[in-house]
Amino acid sequence: MAALGLVLVTALAGCAAAPSPAPHPGGEVGAGLDGTVVVLAAASLTDVVGEIAGQVERAHPGLTVRTAFGASSTLAAQVAAGAPADVLVTSSAETMGLATDAVGGSPVVVATNGLQLAVPAGNPGGVTSLADLADPGLTVALCAPEVPCGDLAVQVLARAGVTPAPDTYERDVRGVLARLRLDEADAGLVYRTDVVAGADAVEGIELPEAVQVVTEHLALASPTAPRPEAAAVVVAALLGPAGRRVLADAGFGLP
């Protein structure tokens, strides 16, 4: 009976595959950079943080960088609740505030981002400016105003004095990008980095500076980090020349 229960629980746990906080093997303070450093980062930074983590591991052969990605708000809440994370990277100052309110520390801006008007390759709708988003004849995809990219779109469109006529509100920016890549929508507002990620399938049109709203990505070496010296190394890598090159290639702005 108990054995069966154990089997069930193990099976469920196996299905869930929840990342468990890793121990820090060989992590004696001052013994050089080895062991494991845990980095939590916003999903929008998956590729760049993964690449920069690789750079750190190559520079410090004894060190393993464990990365986990998710919504900034979720990750910040985890850090605030005492998750054994060394570095937190969020996609907004507000979400970073959730973490620093609880654990303190001074986050630094590692990259900036902003919206771009995006169209499918070849621009089938002949879109040239934000004003085209008000054209009811065009199929327009925007993020829902309830989510961060949609909130940003509302601000940008208000600055531009455009009342959009969207055909669908997506729950996240990747949803908008998918509509454009599949050529189901003529135009949408996505992050500049998403246009870069969309490669040949999507073209970006830069917004006028006067209407652009810049978002900041912040990194925090947590004051409660199990590996403070390794945390500092990761944050330095995000700010260093190699890290900046990775961020710039992905379309991020640099502070």
Residue 200 contacts other proteins per CB under 8 A: no
Least distance in angstroms from the C-beta of 108 to other proteins: 27
Does position 183 interact with other proteins (CB under 8 A)? The reply is yes
| Distance between CA atoms of residues 146 and 60, nearest Å | 42
* Whether 55 contacts 192, CB under 8 Å: no
Q: Least distance (Å) from other proteins to the CB of residue 168?
A: 3
When the beta carbons of 56 and 189 are compared against other proteins, the nearer one is 189
Residue 83 or 144: the one with the smaller Cβ distance to other proteins is 144
5 or 25: CB nearest other proteins: 5
Site for other proteins in 2-21 (CB under 8 A): 8
For position 170 contacting other proteins by CB under 8 A, the verdict is yes
CB of 171 to other proteins, least distance (A): 6
Can you tell me which of 169, 212, 240, 242 binds other proteins, judged by CB under 8 A?
169
Cβ neighbours of 4 (radius 10 Å): 8
Give the residue among 189, 180, 120, 203 at the shortest CA–CA distance from 160.
189
**Helices 46-59 and 228-239 sit at what angle, rounded to 10 degrees?**
120
Nearer to other proteins, 147 or 242 (CB): 147
Selected binder of other proteins within 112, 168, 212, 224 (CB under 8 A)? 168
* Site mask for other proteins (CB under 8 A), range 147-166, x = bound: x------------------x
| Rg for the chain, CA atoms, rounded | 21
Residues 135, 126: Cα–Cα separation, whole Å:
11
The piece of 16-24, 141-149, 188-196, 223-231 that touches other proteins (CB under 8 A) is: 141-149
Task: Closer to other proteins by CB, 91 or 222: give it.
Answer: 91
Minimum distance from CB of 105 to other proteins (Å)? 26
Find the distance separating the first CA and the last CA of the chain, reported in whole Å: 60
